[in-house]
Chain A
Amino acid sequence: MSDRAEPAPRPLVDGISVSIAVGVVALTFGVLARTSGLTVGKTCAMSLLVFTGASQFAAVSVAAQGGSMAAVLGASLLLAARNTLYGPVVSRWFEHLGRPRRMLLAQFILDESTGVGAAQPAADGPDPTRHNRIGFLAGGLGVYVLWNLGTLVGALAGNVVGDVGRWGLDAAFPASFVALLAPHLSHRPCRFAALIAAVLTIVSVPVLPIGVPVLVGALAVLPAAWFTGPDEDEPVLP
């Protein structure tokens, strides 16, 4: 890996790639939701309205195990809480927008859209966040379309697909986050934050309820920000 070379901006290619990948994962969600007892209508309503991948999987899996409504809401919304943390990152790319448009924008804040946006380098000239913005929108809108399309197809296909594990689809989700993480790892404080987060999550997965370990992992930013010091170098994100 070349040390501090800026990657070339590819906001559209990245956004479309992640959308196709998410579409494949959505097939999985559609199938899983149907096999856990949801109707096609409810399955599609979740993807259209809730639109938060990991939360939807959590909700369906807890419901499938016979979890109470409180358990479903708890596990799912704890996973959704991390989207709050992306708000300040995304906000800086869209400061020129008025409130009504920002209200619409909020629905598209996801791991994937924020990740694609944040992976883009700063643009030259008077609009340094241009690539971030295009990446976020390409990722957000593309994911919305393909997530819902994939959900519909998966829900209709139902048990035709059979065991999703046989196709290795359960490896697709973590692998996509590995790819989104990779550009951050050239920056030392980010490496540090990622490492601590991974350790905190490993330690807390066996003891904490579903959904909580991700939030514990997020606490890694505190020691990472503290120990790497403010004068280290410029932030990766513009």
Chain B
Amino acid sequence: MTWLTIGLLAGGAYAFKWFGLEVLGGHSTATPRSAPKDSGLEGAARLGLQRIVDLLPPAMFAALIVLQTFNRTDDIRTTLTRLVGVVVGALAAWRKAPLLVVIVLAAATTAAARALT
């Protein structure tokens, strides 16, 4: 990987973050326009956007869990042992264990499963 690639990655990654915060976050564009308060339709549109934004983190986290658990380039043993660890971590999370406990349990379970198989 060249320095140019790293520079473009850094610039691109930052641009996405900035765009979401300033433009989609509505600080720079929405303020002057929404001056007349909540005409019914506009209020409804904002409420809809709000709902979508609220639902984004759980949707993204679920997608990432799937993506990182099932990697199509891994063999079946790697995937299954990883899955066992993730399931144990999920049980711990369901029992409201702290994040670090969840992660350590997941990694330890996967490591143990690999050592035994």
Residues of A participating in the B interface, judged by any CB pair closer than 8 Å: 1, 13-14, 17-18, 20-21, 24, 37-38, 42, 45-46, 49-52, 54-55, 59-60, 63, 69, 72-73, 76-77, 80-92, 95, 99, 102-103, 105-107, 109, 111, 114-115, 118, 165-182, 184-185, 189-191, 193-198, 200-202, 205-206, 213-214, 216-218, 220-222, 224-225, 230, 235-237
Q: Are B13 and A80 in contact (CB under 8 A)?
A: yes
How far does the alpha carbon of A38 sit from the alpha carbon of B57 in the complex, in Å?
A: 32
Q: Are A115 and B57 in contact (CB under 8 A)?
A: yes
Q: Are A87 and B6 in contact (CB under 8 A)?
A: no
Name the CB-closest residue of B to A21: B103
B67 interface residue per 8 A CB criterion: yes
Query: Is chain A's binding surface mostly helix, strand, loop or mixed?
Result: helix
How far does the alpha carbon of A99 sit from the alpha carbon of B31 in the complex, in Å?
A: 14
Chain B residues with CB under 8 A of A95: 27
- Asked if A103 meets B18 with Cβ closer than 8 Å, knowing A168-B107, A168-B109, the reply is yes
How far does the alpha carbon of A174 sit from the alpha carbon of B64 in the complex, in Å?
A: 7
Total interface residues on B, using CB and 8 Å?
80
Cβ proximity bits B47-91 to A, threshold 8 Å, 1 near / 0 not:
111111111111111111111111010000010011001100110
Given A105-B21, A179-B102, A224-B55: 20 more A-B contacts, CB < 8 Å: A17-B99, A45-B6, A55-B9, A63-B1, A73-B5, A77-B13, A84-B16, A85-B53, A88-B49, A90-B20, A91-B25, A95-B27, A171-B109, A172-B106, A175-B103, A177-B64, A197-B59, A202-B70, A220-B55, A230-B51
Chain B residues with CB under 8 A of A181: 58, 61-62, 65, 93
* 8 Å CB contact of B72 from A63, A90, A205, A221: A205
Q: Are B66 and A168 in contact (CB under 8 A)?
A: no
Chain B residues with CB under 8 A of A190: 54-55, 58
CB distance from B60 to the nearest CB of A (A): 6
* 8 Å CB contact of A77 from B12, B47, B60: B12
Q: Are A175 and B90 in contact (CB under 8 A)?
A: yes
Chain A residues with CB under 8 A of B3: 42, 45
Residues of B participating in the A interface, judged by any CB pair closer than 8 Å: 1-10, 12-14, 16-28, 44, 47-70, 72, 78, 81-82, 85-86, 89-90, 92-94, 96-100, 102-103, 105-115
* 8 Å CB contact of A88 from B25, B93, B107, B113: B25
Chain A residues with CB under 8 A of B21: 87, 90-91, 102, 105-106, 109
Provide 25 A-B residue pairs closer than 8 Å at the C-beta atoms, listed in order of the A residue: A42-B3, A54-B68, A69-B5, A77-B16, A83-B13, A86-B17, A91-B21, A95-B27, A102-B27, A171-B82, A171-B85, A171-B89, A175-B90, A176-B103, A177-B65, A179-B93, A179-B103, A189-B51, A193-B62, A195-B62, A201-B67, A205-B67, A217-B66, A220-B55, A224-B59
